C-alpha cells in the first residue's frame, strides 16, 4: 500500500482509533498513532500539533523534528522546542485558549482543540454565579495587568481552585507571571499530545 493510500480518515485525525487498529492492545495502537504522525505530510503534522499548542513556530519545529522514535521522544522534543521559543511565540499559544469560564478563544481553534478546552475547563460548568462573576472580573484584571489571558492547566481543578490560583498570580510581577503562564502552557501541551496519541 502506498503511503498516500494509508492516510488516516478524518476520524483518526481527530485522535480516534482507526478501524484497522480497533481491538488491538493499547501499545500497538500507540505505536500506530505515532507511526501515522511520522508519516503525515508537513501540513498535516503541523495542523495536528497546532491542536495541542497554538504557536505556529512550535508546530512547525515539531513537524520538522519527525520521525520520533517513541512517544517519550516526541514529548521530550515538545518541551525542548517550547522552552526555546520567543515570548511572542508563547503569547501566540496563549491566544489559542478561551479565557477561564468562557468558550471562545481570541485566535482560531480547531474543533478538537475547542472540545479539549471545554473538557479542561469542566470545573467551571457548575460554578456558583458569584464564582463565575469573580472569575470574569479576575480575567479582566489579569489581562489589564499582564497583557495576556490567564493560563492555567485547568484539568481536574474546580472553579474555586482556579479562582484562588488567579488571585494569587495577580500578585506576581509581569516577568515572573509570563514564565508561570508558559509553564502552564507546557503542561497543557503535554496532556493534549498524550490525548492526541491516545497514550
Helix axes 71-84, 56-64, angle to 10 degrees: 140
97 flagged as catalytic:
yes
Cell of 92: 501566540
8 A C-beta contact, residue 82 and residue 189: yes
As a whole number of angstroms, the distance between CA 57 and CA 46 comes to: 9
Residue 147 backbone zone (phi > 0: left; psi -120 to 50: alpha; other: beta): left
Q: DSSP secondary structure string, 106-161? A: SS---HHHHHHHHHHTGGGTT--HHHHHHHHHHHHHHHHHHSS------TT--HHH
Among 48, 68, 71, 97, the active-site one is 97
End-to-end CA gap in the chain? 27
Could you give the residue numbers annotated as active site?
Answer: 97
Amino acid at each position: 500500500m502506498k503511503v498516500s493510500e494509508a492516510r488516516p480518515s478524518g476520524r483518526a485525525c481527530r485522535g480516534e482509533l482507526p478501524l484497522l487498529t480497533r481491538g488491538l492492545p493499547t501499545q500497538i495502537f500507540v505505536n500506530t498513532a505515532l507511526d501515522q504522525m511520522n508519516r503525515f505530510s508537513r501540513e498535516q503534522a503541523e495542523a495536528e500539533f497546532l491542536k495541542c499548542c497554538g504557536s505556529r513556530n512550535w508546530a512547525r519545529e515539531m513537524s520538522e523534528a519527525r520521525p520520533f522514535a517513541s512517544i517519550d521522544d516526541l514529548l521530550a522534543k515538545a518541551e525542548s522546542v517550547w522552552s526555546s521559543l520567543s515570548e511572542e511565540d508563547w503569547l501566540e499559544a496563549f491566544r489559542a485558549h478561551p479565557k477561564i469560564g468562557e468558550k471562545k478563544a481570541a485566535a482560531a481553534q480547531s474543533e478538537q482543540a475547542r472540545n479539549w478546552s471545554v473538557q479542561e475547563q469542566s470545573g467551571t460548568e457548575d460554578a456558583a454565579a458569584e464564582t463565575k462573576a469573580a472569575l470574569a472580573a479576575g480575567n479582566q484584571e489579569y489581562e489589564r495587568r499582564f497583557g495576556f489571558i490567564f493560563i492555567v492547566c485547568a484539568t481536574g481543578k474546580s472553579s474555586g481552585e482556579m479562582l484562588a490560583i488567579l488571585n494569587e498570580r495577580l500578585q506576581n510581577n509581569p516577568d515572573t507571571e509570563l514564565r508561570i503562564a508558559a509553564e502552564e502552557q507546557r503542561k497543557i501541551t503535554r496532556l493534549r499530545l498524550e490525548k492526541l496519541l491516545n497514550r
